[in-house]
Amino acid sequence: MKKHFIKVVLSSAVIVGSFTSCKNSGSSSSKNVSRATGWKINAKEGGFQFNSDFKEQETPPGTVFIEGGTFTKGKVQDDIMHDWNNTPTQQHVQSFYMDETEVTNVMYLEYLDYLKAVYPPENPNYRNIYHGALPDTLVWRNRLGFNETMTNNYLRHPAYAEYPVVGVNWVQASQYAEWRTDRVNEAMLEREGYLAQDAKYKVLNGEISETFSTEAYLNNPQSVYGGQIDSLQGKQKRDSINVYAKRSSGVIMPEYRLPTETEWEYAAQALIGSREYNNYRGRKKYPWEGDYTRNGQRVGRGDQLANFKQAKGDYGGIAGWSDDGADITAEVKSYKPNDFGLYDMAGNVSEWVADVYRPIVDDEISDFNYYRGNIFLKKAIGEDGKVKVLKDEIKYDTLPNGKIVAMNLPGEIEMVPVTEEETYLRTNFDSSDNRGYRDGDAGSSRFFERFSDESNNRMMYDSPKHKVERDSTGNLIRQYDTSNYRTSLINDEVRVYKGGSWRDRAFWLDPAQRRYMPQYMATDDIGFRCAMSRVGSKSKSKNKTVRHKKASK
């Protein structure tokens, strides 16, 4: 019996050894050898080039990491308005990054200074690039209030440098995010040696004619900097294979953008710090724990946890006692962050989010990364077969309030709507513009069968269709909609904004509350912050290591 046992064990050892040998012979001990073909990766002789040393996406400047998860969206605790614009739905959010504070005046002034230097408003071709980005400082004015000090000083005076920028409409906020994407990626390429040291400043000094565009660099790098990029190459030029960075290089970051409503609400609730089942089901009233707006801890007991309007005529409390420290906006980071490390997700200013407003969230179609506002575009191809880069073709748009904004900057790629070639036999989308999908488009109309008949066109979102444009001399031409059959102010240019502000009472501090405003309008109590999607794993390396150790135990 004993001999037989030994024989079996030895036989097993031989079998295991043979499998191990087979595994070793078919695998690669080097990360620079393909497991598919056995060919070299990143060989000097040529062939496939790929960043095999990439670990994970680094945290973008100014942001904090938000690990994704599940939560109940739209669960308001005090529905005082009874406006029926929220329905609790369970949603899942992918991990992303979000600005730790609202975009401040000094951050926005950097943007304005850049535009003014690169596209001087004295040049008639560029005039509306700079002027179209200017915040509306007149939002501070009140017919029966003396606010001229803020009108004249709030944006530019150093005393308000770290206060959230206001007077910025949704279009301007989105364009700021696009500009920020290019500046950050320009700095990343310089840091990694794809661009020469301080190359990013040459456009400011007038040494090169055009600026940097991330998408133009990725798709047609020879067009960047007005075709002068070869003179601005960094140390990577020594290796002829790595002259230009690609997406596979892992250097280029995804775009900055406005957060979706789902992302914003999830980040504001910050359930990561709570282990209570009720909070997970949507019972958390504020970005902090508890049902009150005052601090209940020993240190700072009784202090207000956010900047909001406490009562009629009471914007900050009694001076020196029960004061929230602000009458208008407050300097960012004046209050404690939530459990994600985000400041002022309640109070101070409300914030634009990316979504087009609709009263109902359509969770039958999507409960994963929900977002209404998709317009799918593709890159335009020029006659030479290459991606078309817009040089002197600056497209402007006149907003309904008469403000002219640039829809593109010189050096950017031209984008066009997708066509039937891209949508043919697809099940996930069939058109370019999906803002009104199932709630506002022709197919969702009660009178869909008679949609072409103007007399029966009674869509739910039949908002007035005013036409505003400027003539060649700059004068406004207004054509107002005089129809008697308009029943709504909602359309595809109306956007959601979230969170309470210094002008709002406490019930607006609930992260689930939502309001809307036309995307071309601005106020003195709406600001914004940027977000960026995370590529790769759901968790950061530190969190993954902790989970692995727990699983091992």
Q: With H, G, I as helix, E, B as strand and everything else as coil, classify residue 374.
A: coil
- DSSP H helices in 134-208: 148-153, 170-191
- DSSP H helices in 192-244: 214-219
**Residue 524, amino acid:** D
Band of the pLDDT at 11, cuts 50, 70, 90? very low
For position 234, what pLDDT does the model report?
85
**For the ranges 86-90, 291-295, 549-553, the one whose mean pLDDT is highest:** 86-90
Band of the pLDDT at 542, cuts 50, 70, 90? low
Q: What is the pTM of this model?
A: 0.89
Contact of 468 with 398, CB cutoff 8 Å: yes
Q: With H, G, I as helix, E, B as strand and everything else as coil, classify residue 138.
A: helix
For 260-274, write each residue's pLDDT tens digit: 999 999 999 998 866
Residue 84 Rama label (left phi>0; alpha psi -120 to 50; beta): left
Cα separation values, 39 from 55, 172, 241, 410, Å: 22, 49, 17, 42
Torsion of CA 382, 386, 391, 394, to 10 degrees: 50
Q: Is the pLDDT at 538 greater than 70, yes or no?
A: yes
For position 522, what pLDDT does the model report?
97
For position 516, what pLDDT does the model report?
96
Q: Is the pLDDT at 102 greater than 60, yes or no?
A: yes
Distance CA 381, CA 399 (A): 28
Q: Is the pLDDT at 158 greater than 50, yes or no?
A: yes
Higher per-residue pLDDT: 104 or 45: 104
- Other CB atoms closer than 10 Å to residue 397's CB: what's the count? 14
**Residue 525, amino acid:** D
What six digits make up the tokens of 462?
A: 């039949």
For position 488, what pLDDT does the model report?
87
Report the share of the chain in percent with pLDDT over 90. Answer: 55
Rg (CA), the chain: 28
Query: 263 φ, ψ to 5°?
Result: -60, -45
Contacts of 141 (CB under 8 A, 6+ apart): 147, 148, 151
